Amino acid sequence: MSTILIRNANVITLDPAQPVIMGGDVLIEGEKIAQVGKGIAVPEGTDVLDASGLVATPGLINTHHHLYSSFARGFAAPGEPARDFVEILQKLWWKLDLALDEEGVRYSALVALVEAIKTGCTTLIDHHASPSCTDGSLDIMEETIRQAGLSGCLCYETSDRNVVGDGVAENTRFLKKCQASGDDQVTALFGLHAQMTLGDETMAAVAAACRELGAGVHVHVAEGTADEEDCLQKYGMRIVQRLHKYGLTGKKSIFVHGIHIDESEMDLIAATGTMMVHNPESNMNNAVGVQKMLQLLGKGILLGLGTDGMTSQMISAARAAHLLQRCHHGDPRLAFVEACQMLLENNATIANRCFKTPRGQLKTGQLADVALFRYAPTTPLEDGRVYGHYLYGLNYAPVHSTIARGRFLMRNYQLLTLDEDAIAARANELARETWGRIQ
């Protein structure tokens, strides 16, 4: 069993019992944190990192990512620019995911995982789509997660838009595989695109599989107005009611976005304990509206933060969430605390429903996920002031080292598990090939 001692860091534990330890130590044994404090004795054979001048925090968590979206960077969809969200899906995302082959799936994921490590993000809940190579695609995603050394909760985006029920078999197979292995590094949910691309036959098949496997779903909900309009027109009910009808609400399920849900849907989400994820940067980029973040939190809904594939930088997502709410409501008093709690507390709670090993604090018994930032606080770093350092200090600070599952993935700015240059070079070639298949 390997042992690591992080020595003399300014430690943000996120443990209410000792929130900040200036000049503190973190002892890691195997995959878990053994001790946090000051002046910890060094066991024989320990790998000691002198963390003077560094701030140690729990590894960041992304509760909604699309690793496959990496090849969208710099891509311009053919034809006239998309005028609304449905056209963005039709002209960009549904063409890009259809053009991915197996190697494209692998390298688009590796690109995003490099970025995750370099920004201190150690746990990702991903939502994958590659309709030209559905079967086995989650195995490729699993291989990349393990190669990187991160933790991942994976799913495939079930949809009827290319083939009826595409993804049902892949999700079912992969869920069974994960459940049989009992391994906690890679877990699974049952992925769904959105209700507007899912007919009743597919929804019934998903519901049956989730009942059999005791699984929750990971689904986009009311991201654009067209999703709610489609559900009302076709089924005479709103989206959350339709999902609930099939038994797909509940504490194991993640509903993403929820921008255009009404209060009755919020109340149903709250009553069923269903998780939600806010993706402010993506929502602004797609011009789909502003999530009622504060109202959702006020109803006791477990609301976390994701990036929707735009980036792996989680602190910037929290910063965007708080600034967007202030701008939208015209009130500079809003959303600072809430955005930080979503990033640092709610994301950990969501992850702890998806994985067995607890994470999100630097505390004895927690998973040894640590991000070390090169950051010299110029104002007091102490309990009650930590959030300000996250959003207006650590957001700009380079990550010096990233530890996940008790293993250095990056040390002194050097990636150890992934070859960034080789990945970038091959991804560049594959992106061009992928774009060439898009009409």
Per-residue pLDDT at 406: 98
Backbone angles phi, psi at 50, to 5 degrees: -75, 110
Residue owning tokens 């990233």 = 402
Q: Is residue 114 part of a domain?
A: yes
**Domains contained in the chain, number:** 2
Backbone angles phi, psi at 132, to 5 degrees: -80, -10
Per-residue pLDDT at 84: 94
Q: Which residues pair with 50 in a beta bridge?
A: 7
For residue 276, the enclosing domain spans 60-354
DSSP string for 334-377: SSHHHHHHIIIIIHHHHHHHH-SS--SS-STTSB--EEEEE---
Q: Is residue 434 part of a domain?
A: no
Residues 29 and 120 in one domain: no
CATH code for the domain in which residue 340 is found:
3.20.20.140
Residues 400 and 280 in one domain: no
Q: Is residue 422 part of a domain?
A: no
Measured CA to CA, the distance from residue 140 to residue 106 in angstroms comes to: 6
| Alpha-carbon distances of 43 from 27, 37, 46, 48, 397, rounded to whole Å | 9, 15, 6, 10, 31
Give the residue ranges of the chain where pLDDT is below 50.
none
Measured CA to CA, the distance from residue 289 to residue 174 in angstroms comes to: 34
Query: Where would I find the H helices in 30-84?
Result: none
Sequence-distant (6+) residues with CB within 8 A of 411 are 49, 401
The last residue of a domain, from among 301, 321, 354: 354
Residues 368 and 350 in one domain: no
Q: Is residue 433 part of a domain?
A: no
Residues 223 and 251 in one domain: yes
Per-residue pLDDT at 1: 77
Per-residue pLDDT at 77: 83
pLDDT tens column, 185-211: 999 999 999 999 999 999 999 999 999
Measured CA to CA, the distance from residue 188 to residue 414 in angstroms comes to: 30
CATH code for the domain in which residue 366 is found:
2.30.40.10
Measured CA to CA, the distance from residue 210 to residue 197 in angstroms comes to: 19
Residues 225 and 180 in one domain: yes
Q: Is residue 236 part of a domain?
A: yes
The last residue of a domain, from among 338, 354, 370: 354
Residues 374 and 280 in one domain: no
Backbone angles phi, psi at 52, to 5 degrees: -60, 130
Residues 139 and 198 in one domain: yes
Residues 69 and 42 in one domain: no
